[in-house]
């Protein structure tokens, strides 16, 4: 019985007839909590927005690299700026419960071939990635964004 709160009745006299007030404890005034909601899959309109992400990647690479020539001392900095800007803009799309990862690679165009591969263990129904390429006479930039749904 110690855990249960009991309403107490108090009688107040203020120069007139007796007035009865019922005091309710704060614990009794709280609404019961709704049962927890476990989201295992994103809702219909909450999936990874691949086309919007592709536009962000392309616009960011063009803004950073158009008109530039490859410089080995600046390539690492440009790559970081592109990856950070893409990740920030994709996060502003507010895709709830998605972990966003962005990677950008800049190499010099010298006629050599490039091969890239990624391997991940993920859920193909919820997780996705988008990549795009920017090329000019001296720069080859490859940027990829991963969206992994957090269960």
Average pLDDT over the chain reads 85
Res 61: pLDDT: 98
> Which band of pLDDT confidence, cut at 50, 70 and 90, is reported for residue 57?
very high
Q: Is the pLDDT of residue 114 over 60?
A: yes
Q: Would the pLDDT of 78 be above 70?
A: yes
Mean pLDDT within 52-80: 97
Which residue, among 109, 53, 130, has the nearest Cα to 85 in the 3D structure? Answer: 53
How would residue 22 be classed by pLDDT, with cut points 50, 70 and 90? low
* Whole-structure pTM value: 0.73
Which secondary-structure segment (H or E) carries 22? strand 18-23
Identify the structural domains of the chain with CATH numbers, from first to last.
50-110+117-149 (3.30.1140.40)
What is the distance between the alpha carbons of residues 41 and 98, in angstroms, rounded to a whole number?
11
Q: 30 or 104: whose pLDDT is higher?
A: 104
Categorize the per-residue pLDDT at 116 as very low, low, confident or very high, splitting at 50, 70 and 90.
Answer: confident
Mean pLDDT, range 50-74, rounded to an integer: 97
**At a CB cut-off of 8 Å and minimum separation 6, what does 120 contact?**
127, 146
């Amino acid at each position: 019985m110690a855990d249960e709160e009991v309403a107490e009745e108090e009688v107040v006299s203020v120069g007139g007839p007796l007035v009865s007030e019922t005091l309710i404890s704060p614990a009794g005034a709280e609404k019961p909590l709704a049962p927890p909601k476990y989201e295992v899959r994103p809702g219909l309109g909450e999936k990874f927005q691949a086309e919007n992400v592709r536009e962000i990647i392309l616009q960011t690479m063009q803004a950073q690299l158009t008109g530039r020539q490859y410089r080995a001392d600046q390539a690492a900095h440009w790559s970081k700026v592109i990856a950070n800007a893409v990740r920030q803009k994709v996060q502003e799309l507010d895709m709830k419960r998605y972990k966003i990862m962005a990677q950008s690679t800049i190499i010099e165009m010298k006629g050599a071939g490039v091969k890239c591969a990624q391997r991940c263990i993920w859920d193909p129904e919820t997780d996705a990635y988008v990549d795009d390429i920017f090329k000019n006479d001296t720069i080859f930039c490859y940027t990829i964004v991963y969206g992994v749904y957090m269960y």
